[in-house]
Structure 1
C-alpha cells in the first residue's frame, strides 16, 4: 500500500514508518525537520512541511491508500495542536479525495471500560484532571473527524511506554479494554497498521491496551 504518515518523528509515528516499511509498504513521512527522522528505506519518501497549509500537504496525500497520524501534544503546553494540525490534514485529504485516516487519541477520551475497579477509576479521574487541556484538544480533534467526510479511526491508548513490539494487546471498538493501563508505542503503531483494512473500525474510536 501507499501510506502517508504525519508526526513521523514522534514516538508512535516513527514506529508506524519503521513497521510499514518492514511490511513492504511505500511510505511518505511528513516532517518539519527531516534530520529528526532516523528511519531509512528505499520505499521511504520524506516530505518536509510545517502543517499550516492544506494546499501544501495535498502532494503528500494524493493517491495514497491511507493516512496515519501520530500528531498530538507532547506536553500540556502543546494542548491545541492535535485538533489544529488534524484539521489541516483533513483539508488536504478531502481536496485529494483520500478517505482512510487513522489517528492517535487517548483512552480517557472515550467511554470508561465496564467492570473497572475503584483504583482504575480513581487513576483515570486523576490523570484526566491533570491533563484536561490535552484531552479537550483530543476531543475536539475527534469532533473534527466526525464532521469530516473521511473514513476515520481514532485509536485510544492508555499510558504509553517505550518498549519493544509484542503484537499482543487487546482492542475494543467503541470502548476500552478493562484494566488496560499500559501499552508500548510500538504496539499502538502495530494496531493502527492492522486496522487500515478493518472496516469494522471505520468512524469508530478503538481502545487499545495490554
Structure 2
C-alpha cells in the first residue's frame, strides 16, 4: 500500500503532521492544503509539529505557514519517533541515561529526546536538537540547541566549539552575540541567576550572557 503524502496523527501533546519526503515538495504542499481545506475549522487552535525526512528549514516554514492559515499553532516541542537518516544508538553514561547520536546533523534535520543527548559530530546551521536533559556536542555546534526543554534548570549544553545560531536552557535564550565563539577550548552553557553563562574548560573563565 503506497504511503500517504501527508498524514495527521493526534497525540496527547497535539497534532503530528507526517510527510512522505520521498515525494515532490510541491505535491506535499498541495496535499496538505487539500487536507486543511477539507477539514476547515476542525483543527483550529490545535498545536502541531511537522515531521519528515530531509525537509529543509525553509520547507518546514512553508508548511507551517499553510497550517497557520487554518488556525493551527506551531509547537516544535511536540515529540514523535524520528524519521531522520542519522545513525542512532542508545547508551548509558555513568549516572544518567543518554541518547548517543553518531553523525553530523545537517540543515533540516532534528533530534528530539526525553533525557540527555550526546552527539558525536557537528550540528550545521538549520539543524536542531531538543532535549529535556543536557546536550553534549563532540564537534562544532552552529545550529539550534534547546536543553532542559521541559523546565530542567540543571541542564547544560557543552560543545567542543560553540557557535550556535540559537541556544536555550529551560526556556531561557542566550543572545547570539554573548556566545564566546572565539574560544579555543570546550564551552559549557548553564543557568545561573536566571541567565545563561558560559564556562571555558581551559581557563575556567565565565562569560555572562546578557
What TM-score does the superposition give when structure 2 sets the normalisation length? Answer: 0.30
Give the greater-gyration-radius structure (CA).
2
Per the normalisation by structure 1, the TM-score is 0.30
